[in-house]
């Protein structure tokens, strides 16, 4: 009895092994139930001739060169063409005040006169001494010619004369400091003093500004620097005005600001009608144009962590290429490197394409001329 039980157990174990090997875990290339059909199917899958659908059809674009424009919008400030804060050079009392607040003044016009009676008296004294020294010099010169005095005595007389003349020049210079004149033509601002006030070099009397033309200072990212030159035109608007105005770039800072990596630019703005005031905030639009630039549609670019990619269709297969981009418009992007004119790039189905996968071009699109695009700083 025990022998038959042992034989039964052996039969069950052998049967389980056969079922596991043949049914539950068949050998590669075979199918449950045997037959040669499984081997043919495996061979077909191995060479890639079966088990795959048709190549996907995509919309493509042929890369070509064209002109591209980009409008860079940034903020700026209007400044007076010339501006100076008027301070006295000496401490004295104001004896004459010729400042009409908010009114134009001419270059060289007397604005403030300070007390100078002591200096004028000193000047008269020195002039009298100089006249006496001049007569003494003339007499000693005659004596020197006759041998009546030595050369040393004559040199002492001439030195006294030159010293008197130098003292006169010094007093005249101090007298000029008692007069404050306009260094240029402009508009005088609000005055901070009155006639008769005692002022010092730290006393601000008023501010003089030249507003017939203004300066417009603004900054742009450094990558646009090569596209901006002296003579470039800019457009700007100020608060309270819906009409854009024009300006001309005339100065560019040689270096880039290290903290912001921006380039400072200065433009000249006509202001004959005093429409604008210094210090006004302005929204500046600078048009940057690049000729014969390679562009691709915006949807053809695949953003990556550190670069951008496009899918180039070559020989019916997809090739992923890294590119360096430049200017952007609403529908296109400039390609600085990575592509050449004539390359065909895919614009649709990018998420389903893989490197070296077969691709079929179903349609080719074209781009209109790249118009300006608004890009803020």
DSSP string, 156-200: HHHHHHHHHHHHHHHHHHHHHTTEEE-SSSEEE------TT-EE-
Residue 97, beta-bridge partner list: 112
Task: Determine the pLDDT at residue 26.
Answer: 53
List Cα–Cα distances, 125 to 177, 238, 247, in angstroms: 19, 60, 57
- Determine the Cα–Cα distance for residues 333 and 327; give it in Å rounded to an integer: 6
Q: 30-44, 120-134, 146-160, 326-340: which range is least confident on average?
A: 30-44
Give the ranges where the chain is alpha helix by DSSP (H).
2-19, 37-46, 117-146, 151-176
Going by C-beta distance under 8 Å and a sequence separation of 6 or more, which residues neighbour residue 294? 63, 64, 65, 334, 335, 339, 340, 341
What average pLDDT does range 126-137 have in this prediction?
93
Give the ranges where 210-312 is alpha helix by DSSP (H).
none
Domains of the chain: 57-68+291-376 (2.40.420.20), 72-81+210-289 (2.40.30.170), 116-177 (1.10.287.470)
Q: What is the largest CA-CA distance in the chain?
A: 172
Indicate whether 376 pLDDT > 80: no
Task: For residue 93, count CB atoms less than 10 angstroms from its CB and return exposed for 0-12, middle for 13-18, buried for 19 or more.
Answer: exposed
Of 118, 117, 115, which Cα lies nearest the Cα of 94?
Answer: 115
Task: Determine the pLDDT at residue 273.
Answer: 84
- Determine the Cα–Cα distance for residues 90 and 108; give it in Å rounded to an integer: 19
Q: Where are the beta strands (DSSP E) in 253-343?
A: 262-270, 281-297, 302-303, 308-314, 317-328, 332-337
What average pLDDT does range 318-343 have in this prediction?
87
Task: Determine the pLDDT at residue 171.
Answer: 95
- Determine the Cα–Cα distance for residues 114 and 219; give it in Å rounded to an integer: 43
């Amino acid at each position: 009895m025990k022998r038959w039980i042992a034989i039964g157990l052996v039969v069950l174990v052998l049967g389980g092994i056969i079922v596991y090997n043949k049914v539950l875990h068949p050998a590669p290339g075979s199918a449950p139930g045997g037959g040669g059909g499984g081997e043919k199917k495996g061979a077909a899958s191995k060479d890639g001739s079966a088990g795959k659908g048709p190549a996907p059809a995509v919309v493509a674009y042929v890369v070509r060169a064209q002109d591209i424009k980009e409008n860079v919008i940034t903020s700026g400030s209007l400044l007076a063409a010339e501006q100076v804060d008027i301070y006295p050079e000496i401490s004295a009392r104001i004896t004459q005040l010729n400042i009409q607040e908010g009114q134009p003044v001419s270059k060289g016009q007397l604005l403030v006169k300070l007390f100078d009676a002591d200096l004028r008296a000193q000047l008269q004294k020195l002039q009298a001494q100089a006249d006496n020294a001049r007569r003494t010099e003339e007499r000693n010169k005659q004596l020197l010619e006759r041998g009546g005095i030595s050369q040393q005595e004559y040199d002492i007389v001439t030195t006294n004369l030159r010293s008197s003349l130098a003292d006169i020049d010094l007093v005249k210079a101090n007298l000029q400091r008692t007069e404050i004149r306009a260094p240029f033509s402009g508009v005088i601002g609000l005055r901070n003093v009155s006639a008769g006030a005692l002022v010092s070099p730290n006393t601000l009397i008023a501010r003089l500004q030249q507003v017939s033309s203004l300066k417009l200072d603004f900054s742009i990212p450094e990558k646009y620097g090569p596209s901006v030159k002296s003579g470039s035109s800019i457009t700007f608007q100020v608060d309270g005005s819906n009409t854009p105005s024009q300006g001309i770039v005339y100065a560019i800072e040689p270096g880039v600001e290290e903290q912001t990596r921006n380039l400072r630019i200065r433009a000249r703005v006509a202001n004959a009608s005093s429409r604008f005031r210094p210090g006004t905030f302005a929204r500046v639009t600078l048009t940057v144009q690049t000729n014969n630039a390679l562009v691709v549609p915006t949807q053809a670019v695949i953003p990556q962590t550190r670069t951008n990619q496009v899918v180039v269709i070559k020989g019916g297969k997809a090739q992923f290429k890294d590119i360096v981009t430049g200017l952007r418009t609403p529908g296109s992007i400039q390609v600085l490197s990575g592509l050449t004119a004539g390359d065909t790039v895919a614009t649709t189905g990018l998420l389903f394409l893989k490197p070296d996968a077969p691709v079929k071009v179903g349609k080719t699109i074209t781009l209109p001329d790249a118009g300006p695009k608004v890009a803020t700083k």
